[in-house]
Amino acid sequence: MYDEKKIVIGALLILLITMVSFNFLGVTGYNINENSKVTRIIVSPTEIKAGQDLTINIIPGKSGVNRYMNFYEGTIRKGKSGAVCVSSYRCSEPITIVYPTSSLWEPGNYYLQVFDYYSGNYVKADFKVTYPYNLNPKARLYPSQYEK
């Protein structure tokens, strides 16, 4: 009876160690894999009206992220942030930014990007811009777009 308890306790201990090392219990907050080394961007909301604020959460990867963000519609840069971390050119701590979009941005699909130093590439997050706050979409400067 005593030996069976030792075996069961030992098996449970091994199972618990395995779960923690594979992060099944969420103890570390990140999965232990290659993806946790690369920067992640979370944009909210993913659909905004031109002129609305965009909340951006950047979780830097293992080697950090550049302190500037760029905003694009297709290949055209629509905006650039100021330095999002001021202590260095490279941010290593999570950042939350509220970015005011321009009311002049046309409706369409946009993305923002930051440079991730671990991967050596830009990390992107998509969002969609709809009509500006106080404009009727049929009263825009280019009404032929909406007459279809």
Does residue 142 belong to any structural domain of this protein?
Answer: no
Mean pLDDT of 68-90: 87
**Amino acid (one-letter) located at 33:** N
Mean pLDDT of 124-144: 66
Residue 84 and residue 39 in contact, taking contact as beta carbons nearer than 8 Å: no
| Residue 25 and residue 70 in one domain | no
| Residue 49 and residue 109 in one domain | yes
How many C-beta atoms lie closer than 10 Å to residue 55's C-beta? 13
Number of domains in the chain: 2
Structure confidence at residue 80 as a pLDDT band (50, 70, 90): confident
Q: What's the rounded Cα separation, in Å, for the pair 106 and 104? A: 6
More confident call, 111 vs 141:
111
| Residue 103 and residue 61 in one domain | yes
Does residue 144 belong to any structural domain of this protein?
Answer: no
User: What is the domain-level CATH number for residue 102?
Assistant: 2.60.40.1930
| Residue 40 and residue 17 in one domain | no
- pLDDT at residue 135 in the model: 54
Domain span holding position 118: 35-134
- pLDDT at residue 35 in the model: 55
